[in-house]
Structure 1
């Protein structure tokens, strides 16, 4: 299980986070993205070294990069002064990698942070790259591009709230973690619904449609697994093992949801830029991406 979890984390460090950051219109992030590969390399090497001083130092370098990313959240809030649902999701995406970075430092040093065993700390690292960063960011993007209604805003709120409730559940008990899993699952299923209903059907490019469809369909199964595990932990009912969860829920969310969704949104951004006159192409970001997507789909003759 350890090798698979480490590979999922490496995917998050090198692919998911940089791809997602390119979709956020925030001053200063471009500079951080240019140096992210160095920090990700340090974090990845730390995963494969034995626990100790060297692994801790390299993990700390990655954690500092995630902290630098988190500091953009208060700056963004001060600049935009917005707590709209989509914006809350983006702010959550900026902050959650720091949780993963902190857990990585503790686990690589062999320190049971807040009393959590090292296996839980190890699993916290991928959880807050994917259920934290990727899921919150995609929820924010989906909210901005969704048809008018409640589904988009509810998804944008329930995904970050669910992820944070799961984190709080670590400190309270298994029932609190189950409550977080229920909220997070509801949010992810709303993301899947809006993606399938509003985005996949209005996108003219076949590859982008396929990526969106896969990202939505995968969530049905992977979040059911998350619910079954959390329910089993709280009640004692039979439930999948952590190794099985890593191979199914973890791998499915990493490849099927996060990677496919972010690649689809990058294609939507690029397609919108191609269809728009160069001077009016908005900077890539949740608001700008949705605007650009609407422009592209209208020009293609489909409703946004």
Structure 2
């Protein structure tokens, strides 16, 4: 790693955020989901996730890509789990779509990880874009979609809950499509994703937090409160960046987006919401 201090710090932050998502948040979140074949896969998850995380700290090349490859295989197994769940339930309601999104999107991030670690510009995307695709698909794609599904269930499928459970997967998909098309479509995706995230934040405050008691753990309420408050702020940053990219208006450079939007979403929202919900989860409330 070389360059200005903020660039180096942003590179380190991306690697730490990705490792957190792969090793901690994704397997915790998967334990909140019922799907055929998911339980044994979750138990085996630490090995490929750790190998993938180690690959982030090695120079690009064969060794790094080979270490990342088992993680890609694990995420492809998640896609198979998603297909089995869809065949079992035959449901594409809002909450189910959010769960399926959480199961499928890590594979896209893992594919980007293997390509970036190999030093290959996949589908015309340069290596920095691939590096940032990995956390985007793990957090906006997997963690946020899973939390949206959990909130949807906690809010009994209310209108706002359905909006969140539909908008988070849709926004993630449109942002990804915008990578291939243009910055304006990416802006549309950012708007849709932000609407979904803000819906989730509102329901965390109004429906989830009031139901939490001290018996659930003294730290659970503060963790959920932080998740709900941080989310609107980080999504405003995402909107300002997407607007700036599409229109040329002033906006934060990528390195500062990583250190603000990226770290805020990972720690303030992703970590706090996932760990708190894992503590709250009861068998009958699994997705």
Contact 2:152 2:158 in 1 (8 A): no
- TM-score, normalising length from structure 1? 0.88
Give the drift of 1:149: 2.9
From 190, 203, 211, the equivalent of 1:194 is 203
Matched, 1:221 2:233: yes
CA distance in 2, matches of 1:66, 1:231: 32
Q: Alignment RMSD, CA only?
A: 1.1
Matched, 1:76 2:85: yes
Contact 2:171 2:191 in 1 (8 A): yes
- TM-score, normalising length from structure 2? 0.94
CA distance in 2, matches of 1:105, 1:266: 29
CA distance in 1, matches of 2:157, 2:175: 29
What are structure 2's unaligned runs of at least 5 residues? 1-9
Matched, 1:267 2:279: yes
Give the drift of 1:135: 0.3
From 262, 265, 277, the equivalent of 1:250 is 262
SS at match of 2:45: helix
Matched, 1:142 2:154: no
Aligned to 2:115: 106
Give the drift of 1:244: 0.4
From 159, 170, 173, the equivalent of 1:164 is 173
Aligned to 1:293: none
Matched, 1:122 2:122: no
CA distance in 1, matches of 2:275, 2:64: 31
Aligned to 2:245: 233
Contact 1:147 1:198 in 2 (8 A): no
Give the drift of 1:212: 1.2
Aligned to 1:285: 286
From 76, 85, 100, the equivalent of 1:91 is 100
CA distance in 2, matches of 1:147, 1:102: 35
| Cα deviations by residue, 1:101-140 (Å, 9 ceiling, x for unpaired) | 0000110111111111100000000111101100000000
CA distance in 2, matches of 1:196, 1:40: 32
Segments ≥4 residues shifted beyond 3 Å? none
Contact 1:93 1:133 in 2 (8 A): yes
Give the drift of 1:207: 2.1
Residue pairs, 1:44-83, within 5 angstroms: 44-83=53-92
From 138, 162, 165, the equivalent of 1:153 is 162
Residues matched between the structures, number: 275
